[in-house]
Each structure stands twice: as C-alpha cells, then as structure tokens.
Chains A and B, each alone.
Chain A
Amino acid sequence: MTGNPNDAREALRRLADALAEDTLNAPDEEVLQDAAEIYGDTDKLAADMLRLFEQTASEQGKARLAAARAAIAAIRRHPSGQARLDPSEMRRRLQQAVAADPETARKLTVAARKGEGLSDEDVYGMLEDFEELGVIPSSDAQDSDK
C-alpha cells in the first residue's frame, strides 16, 4: 500500500474485476447454489433483478421524454425566422429538390389535379424544412454566394 487513494481505488477495481470474472466462468449450477445460500429463493431473486432492470430502463426512458419536452419548449420560445424568397423562386427551388423523389412528385401532381395545389405557404414551409435538415443549402447562404 502506498497510502495513495488512487492506488487503493485501482486495487479495489481489480478485485471487483476478478470476482466478476470468477462468476462469469463458474458453472451455472455453482452460481445458482451460491445465490441460494446467500439470498434463499433464486426465482424470487431473478424476478427482483428483472424488475430492477425494467425499473432502471423505465426511469431512463422517462428522463429522455422529459428532456425531449424541455427541448421542444425551448424551440417554441425561440422560433427560427427565415427570409422569404420571391414565390416563383421558391417554387423553382422546390421543384429542384423534389425532382430527386419521383413518388413525392407524383403525389404533389395528384394533389394539384384535385384542385389542392400547393400554396405559397406550403412551398415556403417545405423549403424551410429542407433547409433546416440540410437537404438544400439555405437561401441566405445562396444569396451570399451570388
């Protein structure tokens, strides 16, 4: 022993690793026997451990949902404002982007045929989504390139 707390921690870590290694290498029957001696009913022990795993996973999941709610609320407080292009320019840019996806192009055509053509607002919204996802460069960036 050196008296250094880091050395002591390292020694404990090695001991824990060795015990875990022993348990992993032991035959199942031996592990069950040891567990029965220490804890009694091994079926109950297994059920308790499973419940503990599920509870831990559930708590982590709930924490992820809570973080998601917080992130959504933050975005709502600070919506991004994007510059609007001329409507014909917006439509030209959208056509270029959609040309890469024939299925969507077909659906948009059907919608238009039913008298439900994309409004300027629809076109603006789609372009905004494309830009936010990096599908197309932002109009601001394009303008600055000119």
Chain B
Amino acid sequence: MNPIAAAEETLRELGVVNPEDIDIEAIAWCLGARVKFRPLDGCEARIVGNGDQAIITINSRGWWRRKRYSVAHELGHWKYHRGRILVCRHDEIGRAGRDYPTAERVADLYAAQLLMPAYIFDPIVRAHPKLTFQTVSTIADLFETSVTATAIRLVQGRHSPALLVCHGPKGRKWFTRSPDVPERWFPQDELDTESFAFGVLFGDQANDAMPRKIGADAWFDRADASRYEVLEQTFRTGDDEILTLVSIRDRAMLEEWDTRRSSSGC
C-alpha cells in the first residue's frame, strides 16, 4: 500500500475526522510505537524497533510542530522500514526535492499524509483559493504543522500551479513544484538580485505581505522566461533560510506542456 493510502487508512480506523483529532503520540501508541522526548545531540530523531514494538525518541530541544512532524516521519519508517534501527539527522526530515534518500522521502510522504490527510485537508483547503503564505499559515495553525511542511503539502497537492523554493546564503537548498507545472520550469541555483527574495535573505527586508509580480526570468534561466510574469512571495523560516512561493498564473507557461506532450506522441 502506498504511503498516502496507508496513512489515511490508519486515521480512518482510529475515527479521526478533524485536524484536532490527530494526536500523533496516541496514534503512534496504537501503531505499537512509544514516543519519548529527550535532548539528542547526534540526531534529530531515532526509532528502535523489536518485533511489533518500537520506541521513537525525538529531540526535545525542537519546537512542538517540528517534533510532531518528526514523530510522524519516524512512524513512516516504522511502517516501511521495519527491522532496522534508524537514526535521522535534522536535514533528513521534512524537506522536498529528489536529492535525498528514498527511505526518507517515503517517510516524509507518510508523515505529511498522517498529519494532513487528504480527506480532511482538501475540503478545508478549498475554502482558501489563493496560494499565499497567509493561506499556508492559517492551515498550518489548524493542523499544528510547520509552515514548510504545510507549504510543501499544498504545492504538491495541486492547490494551484506553483513552485516552492528554499534558499540559504549558499544558494538553493531544495525545491518542489506542483504536478501541473512542466519540468522545464527549473529554478535557478542562485537568487537573482532582482528578486524580492534576495532582499529578504540578504537585506533587512521583512517577509512579503502579499505575492508580487516579477518577470519569470528572475527565477528561471530559460530564453523564453522573459516573456512571462510570475507571482513571488517570500517567508523567512530561519536565520539563514527562506521559502519562496513562485506562482504561475500565465496559462501559456502551462499550456506549452500539453503542446509538447502531444507533439512527442505521449
């Protein structure tokens, strides 16, 4: 069973119908895993299993939403990678992109669905048609999830065509895009100095209150990018980390995908 269906089945079996029902420690207990919180120095979280019982230990120094996500992530390992002792570093939990181990991606997918299951998440999201960080924060508060995890869930869940890009001072850390955004729209490694995100990361500018229009060539290193505009909104998630939503409103940027697919006979 895939992680999405598996997480949803678990929640339905436990009679979970509202975001506030998602008590991750109690859910873990029902799945045979006891959760402990204690200071960890060498990792963010770990799970040790024996037979059908496991102990999940989460770094107690983190903030609550991060801890919840880490528990759900370790439950993903419990579901799919049972029989191993697993130690997860901070940078292996709750990120997007394809350049990290498959096992961690599977655990993240399971975690996202366990904390934000489609059958509860989607009806709530439909009341928020605009993909902005205001929407992300409102939904994150409802589900007690981080802005990062919620933004990834929204972007990957076909809310609207967009990319979510994470940058640090050394460049792009990771990104993810909506399924309906063609793969040719690949964000540049470095922030363009013209982008509003540059000012938030390197200047003293505050988070963008609302998405702002900017030429697509500030984000995509393609010859045809200069023909389009995108909406950009940046949110600081740490001292040296920002998230940017790059929303695509110009249908032409998406329609060309259909043209290319039909011309290649797919």
Residues of chain A having any CB pair with chain B under 8 Å? 57-62, 64-65, 68-69, 71-72, 75, 98, 101, 103-104, 107-108, 111-112, 116-119, 121-122, 125-126, 129-130, 132-135
**Bound complex: CA of A60 vs CA of B38, how far in Å?**
32
Identify whether the interface residues of A are mostly helix, strand, loop, or mixed. helix
**Bound complex: CA of A120 vs CA of B119, how far in Å?**
44
Contacts of A107 in B (CB 8 A): 87, 89
User: A119, B25: Cβ atoms under 8 Å?
Assistant: no
User: B15, A116: Cβ atoms under 8 Å?
Assistant: no
**Bound complex: CA of A60 vs CA of B12, how far in Å?**
11
Query: B132-168: which have CB < 8 Å to A?
Result: none
Please tell me if B84 contacts chain A, counting CB pairs below 8 Å. Answer: yes
Contacts of A103 in B (CB 8 A): 84-86
Q: How many residues on chain B are close to A (CB under 8 Å)?
A: 35
Decide: A129 near B55, CB < 8 A? Known: A65-B23, A72-B25, A112-B42.
yes
- Cβ-closest 7 pairs across A and B: A61-B15, A58-B15, A68-B29, A62-B15, A68-B26, A61-B14, A133-B50
Contacts of B35 in A (CB 8 A): 72
Please tell me if B30 contacts chain A, counting CB pairs below 8 Å. Answer: yes
Contacts of A129 in B (CB 8 A): 36, 46, 48, 55, 57
Please tell me if B190 contacts chain A, counting CB pairs below 8 Å. Answer: no
Select from chain B the residue with minimum beta-carbon distance to A133: B50
Q: Please, could you name 19 A-B residue pairs with CB atoms under 8 Å apart, sorted by A?
A: A58-B12, A58-B17, A61-B14, A61-B16, A62-B14, A62-B21, A65-B15, A65-B21, A65-B26, A68-B27, A68-B29, A68-B30, A72-B25, A75-B34, A104-B84, A116-B43, A117-B41, A122-B42, A125-B57
Contact of A108 among B12, B36, B50, B87 (CB under 8 A): B87
User: A134, B23: Cβ atoms under 8 Å?
Assistant: no
User: A118, B41: Cβ atoms under 8 Å?
Assistant: yes
Query: B31-61: which have CB < 8 Å to A?
Result: 34-36, 38-43, 46, 48-50, 53-55, 57
Q: Which of A68, A75, A135 neighbours the largest number of chain B CB atoms within 10 Å of its CB?
A: A68
Contacts of B204 in A (CB 8 A): none
